[in-house]
Amino acid sequence: MFDLRLEFNEVILSSVLKDDLAEVYKWIIKYDNCSEKSCQLNFNEFCNRFLEYYLGEGEVFLKISKGKDIIGILKGRLEFKKNNQLWIRYFRTQSKDIVKGVWDEVIREILNRLANEMGINEFYAIVSSEEKEYLEFWRRNGFKLKRLFDSFDETKNDVKIFIFGKVLANKYKEIL
């Protein structure tokens, strides 16, 4: 687990902790278009995944809050290499505001703060072709298509997986 906390414009990004599990699970059920019956993970499996994240080096699981309300979730992995990277595997918001651009400022602030305060300058987002509003969101925010491949889920032959990437300069390293 990589502990992280960022605050800006009344928005707080903070690592998900054990005490947050029930609230975060309910939020995911509500805003990820699944019910507890149709969701791929029941609460016990969700808790087991949390434990994997908690014990994993570089794993990031963030709740995005405004006041006391969760307004988004971001899950991914930090890799510290020659070029430090954040791989975003899951990003959800509570509404279709993603389409209207409300979240553009939030993601720009997150990326800029990670670049300038932590030296992370490569960002990647993994998105399914089923998530059309998120495909547009990443493109609109300067992410370029890096790779496209078929879904690993054999029941979804028509689904594609997109990997988008973006590189930012930071105070630790100039991009030539």
For residue 124, give Cα distances in angstroms to 18, 33, 88, 103, 146: 27, 24, 6, 17, 9
What type of residue is 94?
Q
Please report whether residue 173 resides in a domain. Answer: no
Please report whether residue 30 resides in a domain. Answer: yes
Positions in the chain short of pLDDT 50: 35, 38, 174-176
Please report whether residue 174 resides in a domain. Answer: no
Please report whether residue 175 resides in a domain. Answer: no
CA dihedral 108, 93, 165, 51 (to 10 degrees): 110
Question: Containing domain of residue 54, as a range?
Answer: 5-167
Please report whether residue 98 resides in a domain. Answer: yes
Per DSSP, the residues of 31-97 read HTT--TTTSS--HHHHHHHHHHHHHSTTEEEEEEEETTEEEEEEEEEEE-SSS-EEEEEEEEESSTH
At 175 the pLDDT is 46
Number of independent structural domains in the chain: 1
pLDDT in tens, 138-150: 999 999 999 998 8
For the chain, the residue count is 176
Residue 162 pairs in a beta bridge with: 127, 148
Please report whether residue 81 resides in a domain. Answer: yes
CATH code (residue 49) = 3.40.630.30
Q: What percent of the chain has pLDDT over 90?
A: 40
Helices and strands (H, E) in the chain, number of each type = 5, 8
Please report whether residue 19 resides in a domain. Answer: yes
At 82 the pLDDT is 85
Please report whether residue 155 resides in a domain. Answer: yes
Note the pTM of the prediction, 2 decimals: 0.85
